[in-house]
Amino acid sequence: MALGFFCLAIFLYLSLDPDSGYTTSASAASSGKEGVEITYGSAIKLMHEKTKFRLHSHDVPYGSGSGQQSVTGFPGVVDSNSYWIVKPVPGTTVKQGDAIKNGATIRLQHMKTRKWLHSHLHASPISGNLEVSCFGDDSNSDTGDHWKLIIEGSGKTWKQDQRVRLQHIDTSGYLHSHDKKYQRIAGGQQEVCGIREKRADNVWLAAEGVYLPLNESSK
C-alpha cells in the first residue's frame, strides 16, 4: 500500500505542469487519518456520503447530451480513475500546499485524462438533471469547471472525512449522486449529476488520496 502511494506521488511529480506552480514533491504523504488538511495540489478521491461510491471518470463519452467524457459513481475503492487533483481557478494567488478555505472556488482535474470536472445545462442521461462531465485539458479550462466548496458545520478549511458540498458556479447546481445505475457503457456505476436543491444526499467526503503537506504560511 505504501509503495502504491509513493508511486502515485512520483506520477504527480512527473505529470503536473511545472509552470503552473503545482509541481509536486515526491515526498507527498498519503494519509488515512481523520482531520488531515486537504491542500491545493493534493490528489484525492471524493466519496458520496449516502451511497459510498467514489467520483469517477474514464475515457468514455456520453451517448447523449454534450457527448463529453462521462462522470460516474464507482463502487470500488481501488481504481486509478477516481483520483482528482484539487486546483484553484486561474488568476488566484494561492500556492500548492495552501489550505482550502470554506467558500473557495476550486477546480478538480481528473488525474488520468487531465480533463476538468465540468457541468452545464445539458440533461443528465438517467435522471434528466444537470449533466456533469469532464472537459478540456491542461491548457483548456473555462468557468464551467468552477465549483464552490461549502463545508458543513463550523469548519473553516477543508479536511479529510469532513462533510462538504460542491456547488457549480455557472448553474448553481450541487454535485449529486444517487442509486440509479447505468446498465451498458458503465454497468454497475451510478449516475453523477447536478441538482439545484440543497439536499441531504448531495454531501461528499474526501477519502483516499495523496495529501500534500500544509504550507506553514497558510495555517
Residue 207, pLDDT score: 94
Confidence of residue 214 (pLDDT cuts 50, 70, 90): very high
∠ CA(27), CA(90), CA(158), 5° rounding? Answer: 55
Strand partners, 192: 177
| Predicted local confidence at residue 218, as pLDDT | 67
Helix (H) or strand (E) holding 13: helix 2-15
Contact call for residues 136 and 109 (beta carbons, < 8 A): no
What are the chain's domains?
39-210 (2.80.10.50)
- Hunting for cell 461549502 — which residue is that? 150
Pairing outcome for strands 204-211 and 174-181: unpaired
Q: What is the pLDDT of residues 149-189, one digit of tens each?
A: 999 998 999 999 899 999 999 999 999 999 999 887 677 89
Per-residue pLDDT of 10-37, as tens digits, reads 444 334 433 333 333 333 444 444 589 9
Sign of CA dihedral 52, 211, 145, 172: positive
DSSP H/E element including 120: strand 116-123
Give pTM, 2 decimals: 0.85
